[in-house]
Amino acid sequence: MKQNASEILHSAGPDSASSFSEFLLETHNGVIPEAWESALKTLGGAALYHSPQWLEALRSTYGLELYFALLRYGDEPAAALVAAQAHGRIVALPFSDYAPPLHKDAPALQTLAAVLSGHGTVEIRGVGLPPPWHTNDSFELWTVELEGGLKPLERRLAPDFRTSIRRALAAQVCVEHGSTIEHLRRFYRLQLENRRRLGVPPQPFAWFMNVHRAFAATGQIEVWLATHNGADCAADVVLRHEDTVYQKWNARADKAPNGANHLLLWSLMEDYAKSCARFDLGRTDRHNQGLRRFKQAMGAQARPLPYAYCPAAPRFASPEFPGKAARVAQFVWRRLPLTVTRLVGASVYRYFA
Protein backbone atom coordinates (compact mmCIF):
# COMPACT_ATOMS: atom_id res chain seq x y z
CA MET A 1 0.00 0.00 0.00
CA LYS A 2 1.31 3.44 -0.95
CA GLN A 3 2.00 5.71 2.03
CA ASN A 4 0.79 9.29 2.02
CA ALA A 5 3.25 12.17 2.24
CA SER A 6 2.85 12.64 5.99
CA GLU A 7 3.49 8.96 6.74
CA ILE A 8 6.62 8.91 4.57
CA LEU A 9 8.02 12.12 6.05
CA HIS A 10 7.68 10.84 9.57
CA SER A 11 9.17 7.40 8.89
CA ALA A 12 12.40 8.51 7.20
CA GLY A 13 15.11 10.99 7.98
CA PRO A 14 18.84 11.60 8.05
CA ASP A 15 19.05 8.89 10.72
CA SER A 16 16.70 6.24 12.07
CA ALA A 17 15.44 8.40 14.91
CA SER A 18 14.71 11.55 12.93
CA SER A 19 12.05 12.72 10.51
CA PHE A 20 11.77 15.40 7.87
CA SER A 21 9.67 18.29 8.99
CA GLU A 22 7.97 19.50 5.82
CA PHE A 23 7.31 18.75 2.16
CA LEU A 24 5.98 21.28 -0.31
CA LEU A 25 5.06 20.86 -3.99
CA GLU A 26 3.66 24.14 -5.18
CA THR A 27 3.59 26.71 -7.94
CA HIS A 28 4.30 30.38 -7.43
CA ASN A 29 2.36 32.07 -10.24
CA GLY A 30 5.40 32.50 -12.46
CA VAL A 31 7.64 33.81 -9.68
CA ILE A 32 10.73 31.80 -8.76
CA PRO A 33 10.57 31.55 -4.95
CA GLU A 34 13.39 32.67 -2.72
CA ALA A 35 13.36 29.22 -1.11
CA TRP A 36 14.47 27.71 -4.43
CA GLU A 37 17.39 30.11 -4.82
CA SER A 38 18.34 29.41 -1.20
CA ALA A 39 18.26 25.65 -1.90
CA LEU A 40 20.57 26.15 -4.91
CA LYS A 41 23.18 27.72 -2.65
CA THR A 42 22.72 25.40 0.33
CA LEU A 43 22.52 22.01 -1.42
CA GLY A 44 25.01 22.57 -4.23
CA GLY A 45 25.33 20.50 -7.39
CA ALA A 46 23.06 22.77 -9.44
CA ALA A 47 23.44 22.75 -13.22
CA LEU A 48 22.41 25.22 -15.90
CA TYR A 49 18.91 23.70 -15.98
CA HIS A 50 18.30 24.52 -12.33
CA SER A 51 19.21 28.19 -12.76
CA PRO A 52 16.61 30.96 -12.47
CA GLN A 53 17.64 32.24 -15.93
CA TRP A 54 16.85 28.91 -17.62
CA LEU A 55 13.58 28.56 -15.73
CA GLU A 56 12.50 32.07 -16.71
CA ALA A 57 13.23 31.38 -20.39
CA LEU A 58 11.13 28.20 -20.23
CA ARG A 59 8.26 29.91 -18.47
CA SER A 60 8.15 32.95 -20.73
CA THR A 61 8.38 30.92 -23.97
CA TYR A 62 6.13 27.95 -23.32
CA GLY A 63 3.91 29.22 -20.51
CA LEU A 64 5.00 26.34 -18.29
CA GLU A 65 3.64 26.26 -14.77
CA LEU A 66 6.70 25.56 -12.65
CA TYR A 67 6.46 23.49 -9.49
CA PHE A 68 9.03 23.59 -6.73
CA ALA A 69 9.35 20.59 -4.43
CA LEU A 70 11.17 21.31 -1.20
CA LEU A 71 11.94 18.86 1.56
CA ARG A 72 13.10 20.44 4.78
CA TYR A 73 14.83 18.99 7.80
CA GLY A 74 14.28 21.44 10.61
CA ASP A 75 14.87 24.88 9.10
CA GLU A 76 17.33 23.63 6.47
CA PRO A 77 16.54 22.38 2.95
CA ALA A 78 17.36 18.68 2.63
CA ALA A 79 16.25 18.10 -0.98
CA ALA A 80 14.71 20.19 -3.75
CA LEU A 81 13.32 19.69 -7.23
CA VAL A 82 11.96 21.95 -9.95
CA ALA A 83 9.43 20.49 -12.41
CA ALA A 84 6.60 21.48 -14.72
CA GLN A 85 3.34 20.05 -15.98
CA ALA A 86 3.73 18.68 -19.52
CA HIS A 87 1.05 16.65 -21.30
CA GLY A 88 -0.55 15.31 -18.13
CA ARG A 89 2.65 14.45 -16.27
CA ILE A 90 5.13 16.18 -13.97
CA VAL A 91 8.52 16.49 -15.71
CA ALA A 92 11.82 17.59 -14.20
CA LEU A 93 12.42 19.31 -16.51
CA PRO A 94 10.80 19.85 -19.96
CA PHE A 95 13.12 20.94 -22.79
CA SER A 96 16.12 20.19 -20.55
CA ASP A 97 18.70 17.41 -20.79
CA TYR A 98 18.65 16.80 -17.05
CA ALA A 99 17.44 18.40 -13.84
CA PRO A 100 17.84 15.82 -11.06
CA PRO A 101 16.84 16.58 -7.47
CA LEU A 102 19.35 18.54 -5.45
CA HIS A 103 19.88 16.74 -2.14
CA LYS A 104 21.95 16.84 1.01
CA ASP A 105 22.32 13.08 1.35
CA ALA A 106 20.92 9.73 0.15
CA PRO A 107 18.10 9.51 2.76
CA ALA A 108 16.81 12.94 1.68
CA LEU A 109 16.81 11.88 -2.00
CA GLN A 110 15.04 8.63 -1.17
CA THR A 111 12.39 10.40 0.86
CA LEU A 112 11.80 13.03 -1.83
CA ALA A 113 11.45 10.26 -4.42
CA ALA A 114 9.02 8.34 -2.22
CA VAL A 115 6.79 11.37 -1.77
CA LEU A 116 6.90 12.33 -5.45
CA SER A 117 5.86 8.80 -6.44
CA GLY A 118 2.43 9.60 -5.02
CA HIS A 119 1.87 12.63 -7.27
CA GLY A 120 0.61 10.97 -10.45
CA THR A 121 2.81 10.42 -13.51
CA VAL A 122 6.29 11.78 -12.89
CA GLU A 123 9.49 11.89 -14.99
CA ILE A 124 12.82 12.96 -13.49
CA ARG A 125 15.77 13.45 -15.84
CA GLY A 126 19.28 12.71 -14.66
CA VAL A 127 18.82 10.24 -11.82
CA GLY A 128 18.08 6.55 -11.32
CA LEU A 129 15.66 5.67 -8.52
CA PRO A 130 14.60 2.40 -6.83
CA PRO A 131 11.11 0.85 -7.14
CA PRO A 132 8.36 1.88 -7.53
CA TRP A 133 10.34 4.01 -9.98
CA HIS A 134 11.42 2.64 -13.36
CA THR A 135 14.80 3.77 -14.68
CA ASN A 136 15.62 4.08 -18.39
CA ASP A 137 19.27 4.12 -19.44
CA SER A 138 18.93 5.13 -23.10
CA PHE A 139 20.99 8.29 -22.68
CA GLU A 140 24.53 9.41 -21.87
CA LEU A 141 25.99 12.77 -20.89
CA TRP A 142 29.18 13.68 -22.76
CA THR A 143 31.68 16.20 -21.40
CA VAL A 144 35.17 17.42 -22.24
CA GLU A 145 37.44 18.25 -19.31
CA LEU A 146 39.02 21.64 -20.08
CA GLU A 147 41.36 21.95 -17.11
CA GLY A 148 45.05 21.25 -17.61
CA GLY A 149 45.78 23.46 -20.61
CA LEU A 150 45.62 23.06 -24.36
CA LYS A 151 48.24 20.32 -24.78
CA PRO A 152 46.18 17.62 -23.01
CA LEU A 153 43.10 18.77 -24.92
CA GLU A 154 44.91 18.47 -28.23
CA ARG A 155 46.34 15.04 -27.35
CA ARG A 156 42.84 13.73 -26.67
CA LEU A 157 41.64 14.67 -30.15
CA ALA A 158 41.37 11.68 -32.49
CA PRO A 159 43.72 11.80 -35.54
CA ASP A 160 40.80 12.18 -37.97
CA PHE A 161 39.44 15.10 -35.91
CA ARG A 162 42.81 16.90 -36.14
CA THR A 163 42.92 16.19 -39.88
CA SER A 164 39.47 17.74 -40.32
CA ILE A 165 40.61 20.87 -38.49
CA ARG A 166 43.61 21.21 -40.80
CA ARG A 167 41.39 20.78 -43.87
CA ALA A 168 39.06 23.53 -42.69
CA LEU A 169 42.01 25.86 -42.10
CA ALA A 170 43.39 25.02 -45.55
CA ALA A 171 39.99 25.86 -47.06
CA GLN A 172 40.17 29.23 -45.24
CA VAL A 173 37.19 28.61 -42.99
CA CYS A 174 37.04 31.45 -40.46
CA VAL A 175 35.60 31.44 -36.94
CA GLU A 176 33.99 34.36 -35.14
CA HIS A 177 31.81 34.78 -32.08
CA GLY A 178 29.58 37.34 -30.44
CA SER A 179 26.45 37.76 -28.39
CA THR A 180 24.26 40.12 -30.39
CA ILE A 181 20.77 39.44 -31.71
CA GLU A 182 22.22 39.44 -35.22
CA HIS A 183 24.59 36.61 -34.28
CA LEU A 184 21.56 34.75 -32.98
CA ARG A 185 19.63 35.32 -36.21
CA ARG A 186 22.54 33.98 -38.25
CA PHE A 187 22.55 30.83 -36.14
CA TYR A 188 18.78 30.45 -36.50
CA ARG A 189 18.92 30.55 -40.29
CA LEU A 190 21.24 27.53 -40.16
CA GLN A 191 19.09 25.91 -37.48
CA LEU A 192 16.00 26.03 -39.71
CA GLU A 193 17.89 24.22 -42.48
CA ASN A 194 19.42 21.75 -40.05
CA ARG A 195 16.11 20.80 -38.41
CA ARG A 196 14.39 20.38 -41.78
CA ARG A 197 17.20 18.07 -42.89
CA LEU A 198 16.65 16.00 -39.74
CA GLY A 199 12.89 15.96 -40.34
CA VAL A 200 11.94 17.58 -37.04
CA PRO A 201 10.30 20.94 -36.20
CA PRO A 202 12.57 23.82 -35.15
CA GLN A 203 12.28 25.63 -31.88
CA PRO A 204 10.47 28.97 -32.16
CA PHE A 205 12.80 31.95 -32.53
CA ALA A 206 11.05 33.42 -29.48
CA TRP A 207 12.69 30.68 -27.40
CA PHE A 208 16.17 31.78 -28.42
CA MET A 209 15.25 35.41 -27.86
CA ASN A 210 14.08 34.61 -24.34
CA VAL A 211 17.24 32.61 -23.63
CA HIS A 212 19.28 35.55 -24.90
CA ARG A 213 17.32 37.97 -22.72
CA ALA A 214 17.89 35.78 -19.65
CA PHE A 215 21.63 35.17 -20.12
CA ALA A 216 23.06 38.10 -22.12
CA ALA A 217 22.94 40.65 -19.31
CA THR A 218 25.50 38.61 -17.33
CA GLY A 219 27.61 37.62 -20.35
CA GLN A 220 26.61 33.96 -20.16
CA ILE A 221 25.65 33.41 -23.82
CA GLU A 222 27.72 33.41 -27.00
CA VAL A 223 27.10 32.44 -30.60
CA TRP A 224 30.06 30.92 -32.45
CA LEU A 225 30.01 30.91 -36.25
CA ALA A 226 32.18 29.27 -38.91
CA THR A 227 32.13 31.08 -42.25
CA HIS A 228 33.45 30.20 -45.70
CA ASN A 229 33.66 32.67 -48.57
CA GLY A 230 31.47 35.05 -46.58
CA ALA A 231 28.69 32.53 -45.90
CA ASP A 232 27.85 30.95 -42.54
CA CYS A 233 28.38 27.18 -42.64
CA ALA A 234 28.28 26.07 -38.97
CA ALA A 235 27.13 27.58 -35.67
CA ASP A 236 27.04 26.87 -31.95
CA VAL A 237 25.06 28.59 -29.21
CA VAL A 238 26.78 28.14 -25.85
CA LEU A 239 25.66 29.06 -22.36
CA ARG A 240 27.90 29.38 -19.34
CA HIS A 241 26.93 28.40 -15.81
CA GLU A 242 29.44 28.48 -12.96
CA ASP A 243 32.60 26.70 -14.24
CA THR A 244 30.89 24.84 -17.10
CA VAL A 245 30.19 25.91 -20.69
CA TYR A 246 27.24 24.15 -22.31
CA GLN A 247 26.95 23.46 -26.03
CA LYS A 248 23.20 23.95 -26.23
CA TRP A 249 22.53 24.12 -29.98
CA ASN A 250 24.63 23.25 -32.99
CA ALA A 251 23.70 23.68 -36.64
CA ARG A 252 25.55 23.40 -39.93
CA ALA A 253 24.84 23.96 -43.60
CA ASP A 254 24.26 20.93 -45.78
CA LYS A 255 27.27 21.73 -47.97
CA ALA A 256 29.61 23.03 -45.28
CA PRO A 257 33.32 22.61 -46.10
CA ASN A 258 34.93 19.50 -44.67
CA GLY A 259 35.96 20.14 -41.09
CA ALA A 260 34.10 23.42 -40.56
CA ASN A 261 32.25 22.06 -37.53
CA HIS A 262 35.44 20.46 -36.18
CA LEU A 263 37.31 23.78 -36.41
CA LEU A 264 34.40 25.62 -34.78
CA LEU A 265 34.32 23.26 -31.79
CA TRP A 266 38.08 23.25 -31.37
CA SER A 267 38.18 27.07 -31.45
CA LEU A 268 35.47 27.16 -28.82
CA MET A 269 37.33 24.71 -26.56
CA GLU A 270 40.58 26.66 -26.97
CA ASP A 271 38.88 29.83 -25.82
CA TYR A 272 36.90 28.44 -22.90
CA ALA A 273 39.81 26.35 -21.59
CA LYS A 274 41.12 29.66 -20.22
CA SER A 275 38.17 30.12 -17.87
CA CYS A 276 36.05 26.95 -17.56
CA ALA A 277 36.59 23.49 -16.09
CA ARG A 278 34.43 21.48 -18.50
CA PHE A 279 32.52 21.57 -21.76
CA ASP A 280 29.07 19.96 -21.50
CA LEU A 281 28.08 18.48 -24.88
CA GLY A 282 24.65 17.44 -23.68
CA ARG A 283 22.54 14.34 -23.96
CA THR A 284 23.25 11.66 -26.55
CA ASP A 285 21.20 8.56 -27.23
CA ARG A 286 23.26 5.39 -26.76
CA HIS A 287 21.89 4.11 -30.06
CA ASN A 288 23.18 7.11 -32.05
CA GLN A 289 26.58 5.63 -32.87
CA GLY A 290 27.55 8.38 -35.32
CA LEU A 291 27.13 11.17 -32.77
CA ARG A 292 28.82 9.10 -30.06
CA ARG A 293 31.87 8.56 -32.29
CA PHE A 294 32.03 12.27 -33.12
CA LYS A 295 31.98 13.31 -29.47
CA GLN A 296 34.54 10.68 -28.55
CA ALA A 297 36.81 11.91 -31.37
CA MET A 298 36.83 15.42 -29.88
CA GLY A 299 38.09 14.03 -26.57
CA ALA A 300 34.79 13.81 -24.71
CA GLN A 301 33.90 11.14 -22.19
CA ALA A 302 30.46 9.71 -21.44
CA ARG A 303 28.69 8.89 -18.23
CA PRO A 304 25.22 7.37 -17.78
CA LEU A 305 22.32 9.80 -17.82
CA PRO A 306 19.39 7.81 -16.41
CA TYR A 307 15.78 8.98 -16.50
CA ALA A 308 13.39 7.84 -13.76
CA TYR A 309 9.66 7.33 -14.31
CA CYS A 310 6.76 6.59 -12.01
CA PRO A 311 4.49 4.67 -12.18
CA ALA A 312 5.89 3.35 -15.51
CA ALA A 313 8.44 4.24 -18.21
CA PRO A 314 7.11 5.22 -21.64
CA ARG A 315 7.15 2.60 -24.34
CA PHE A 316 9.39 4.69 -26.60
CA ALA A 317 11.87 6.70 -24.52
CA SER A 318 14.53 6.75 -27.25
CA PRO A 319 13.97 9.07 -30.24
CA GLU A 320 16.23 6.79 -32.29
CA PHE A 321 13.31 4.42 -32.80
CA PRO A 322 10.44 6.56 -34.16
CA GLY A 323 7.10 4.91 -34.80
CA LYS A 324 5.48 4.73 -38.22
CA ALA A 325 3.59 8.01 -37.77
CA ALA A 326 6.80 9.81 -36.75
CA ARG A 327 8.66 8.44 -39.79
CA VAL A 328 5.92 9.68 -42.10
CA ALA A 329 6.02 13.10 -40.41
CA GLN A 330 9.81 13.26 -40.90
CA PHE A 331 9.44 12.41 -44.58
CA VAL A 332 6.92 15.22 -45.07
CA TRP A 333 8.86 17.74 -42.97
CA ARG A 334 12.03 17.35 -45.04
CA ARG A 335 10.11 18.57 -48.09
CA LEU A 336 8.49 21.69 -46.61
CA PRO A 337 9.67 25.23 -47.44
CA LEU A 338 11.73 26.81 -44.65
CA THR A 339 9.12 29.54 -44.10
CA VAL A 340 6.51 26.85 -43.44
CA THR A 341 8.75 24.90 -41.06
CA ARG A 342 9.37 28.09 -39.07
CA LEU A 343 5.68 28.97 -38.77
CA VAL A 344 4.50 25.45 -37.98
CA GLY A 345 7.44 24.73 -35.68
CA ALA A 346 6.55 27.74 -33.51
CA SER A 347 3.15 26.12 -32.85
CA VAL A 348 4.04 22.45 -32.46
CA TYR A 349 7.44 22.43 -30.78
CA ARG A 350 5.89 22.82 -27.33
CA TYR A 351 4.58 19.25 -27.71
CA PHE A 352 8.13 17.89 -27.84
CA ALA A 353 8.79 18.56 -24.15
Instruction: For residue 346, name the pLDDT band (cuts at 50, 70, 90).
Output: confident
**Which pLDDT score, from 0 to 100, does residue 279 have?**
98
Mean pLDDT of the chain: 88
State how far Cα 123 lies from the chain centre: 15
**Which pLDDT score, from 0 to 100, does residue 82 have?**
94
pLDDT tens-digit series, residues 193-244: 999 998 989 999 999 999 999 999 999 999 999 999 999 999 999 999 999 9
Q: What are the structural domains, with CATH classification, of the chain? A: 5-136 (3.40.630), 140-305 (3.40.630.30)
Round to whole Å and give the CA distance between 328 and 93: 28
**Which pLDDT score, from 0 to 100, does residue 86 have?**
86
